[in-house]
Structure 1
Amino acid sequence: MRRVLLRAAFVIALPVLLVAGWWVTSDDSTDVYWPPLRTILETFPDVWTGERLKDDVLPSVLRLTGGYALAAVVGVALGTVIGSYRRVRAVCEPVLEFLRAVPPPVLVPVIMLFAGIGDTMKVTVIASGCVWPILLNTVEGVRAVDPVMTETARSYGITGTTRLRSLVLRSASPQIFAGLRQALSIGIILMVISEMFAASNGLGFTIVQFQRGFAIPDMWTGILVLGLLGFLLSVVFQLVERRVLGWYHGLRASSRRSP
């Protein structure tokens, strides 16, 4: 119990210090672009009502979920194939390195030409940026599968989907989840960027509208909502990761305890 309380104190200590520092340094601010934190917090409940959460936050979350899920499926599938076959990897690596170097926001106007300005465009933009860390981490995870385990599976006649599920994906899963974690933060950024182009709702659209209307405290509340959304998604991701990779974390903990 003491360890849990100590860990919780460490977790909340830095956010509390940052908020306190923000409150103190901005308390006597008269700058229109840097309002006091007190003013922002007082504005927050008036701006983010239940209706606005449904009209702006929910569409953003759905777009992020769609693009992230699409990137996860494509990234893991292609990464498994590329990582499993040396010749495929030799052919694909130059193209992958070229495409990875292109910043996803640059592709927004191009994607708009083919996908229009609706939700399809926004989901595609999110997926186009999220897929790379998932794909590349999956490739490296599949390549790092223990050769001894591979030979053992072959000796026992474990092939096909059973080998893929029980050996390849299971061995590569810690690396895959590392890519998924990186992709989550990229997805949030691209969600906001995509909603700044030809959108009629969403967090990115709303924040830009507040900025253009010089509703600066309202704009800051939107930034706070983005931060809270990122924090909640990170917590959910950690819970899923702990459950799926329970065997891996248990193995690491046991190896640390052993002499």
Structure 2
Amino acid sequence: AGVELERLYEGDTAPWQVFCHDSEEFRTRPRPAASLETDKGTETFDPALLEFVYPYQRETLLPAKVTATQLKGRPLDEEISQNARHTPYLRPLSQPRFRQERQGLTAAEQGTATHLVLQYLDFSNVDVAGQVESLRLRGLLTDEQAAAVDQEALERFLRSPLAEEIRHGQNVRREYPFTLLMDARDYDPDAAAGESILLQGVVDCCFETEEGITVVDFKTDRVLTDAEVRRRAEQYRPQLEAYSRALERVLERPVVRRELYFLRAGASVEL
């Protein structure tokens, strides 16, 4: 600091040690990094490094997380999963809110409203209209959602043999969420062993019998004929298989049955 020291304190400084350093002692520059050439001018860079191929390149393309819905392979479903890849496609521009309200809910929004009703629906009460109105008054459904619910389809479901089984089932769970690590090879069979992906999902409904767990998934797809129902059901097989793996690990009981119920067609398909 440019201050001349006459002498250091020489009293009793038992726990202290005082040193005086000259800044000139630290002026030595660090040695520069080795260049590409040695003192003799020979090249030290190994060209083989440019040909190196990372052995786990495929794994760098795996998503960190997938949803059970995404396993159907629809690009729109892949977008809701963090770090999920999707193929390029044209997406429609969003409409202004006033146009959406004037034209009613989209098909996807109507399906969401129906699933919301199924979450709270009392399966022992066939008065669907009364239950929907109750949900609206409680603020669980908007006016637009309540009007868009296919009440006739829900009443048909409540009269179905599947609904009767659910009413007599044990440990009935609805909108059951799960998060667990899955083997990456269940998503990509060519992935390396030991790689994992986070799997998330929500099971519409499941119940238990003495034999094991029955998984039920409700669909609002616009399918009517038996051929359309069967063809569409196969597209959902990976999703139901993911639900089964998750429930077996979480509930520690075997899944013995997987049921898809198409509300519009009033048809149940076992996968």
Does the alignment reach a TM-score above 0.5?
A: no
Structure whose CA Rg is larger: 2
In which range does the TM-score fall when normalised by the shorter chain? under 0.3
Alignment TM-score, normalising by the size of structure 2 = 0.24
Greater share of strand residues, 1 or 2? 2
TM-score (norm 1): 0.25
The structure, 1 or 2, with the larger RCO (C-alpha pairs under 8 Å, 6+ apart) is 1
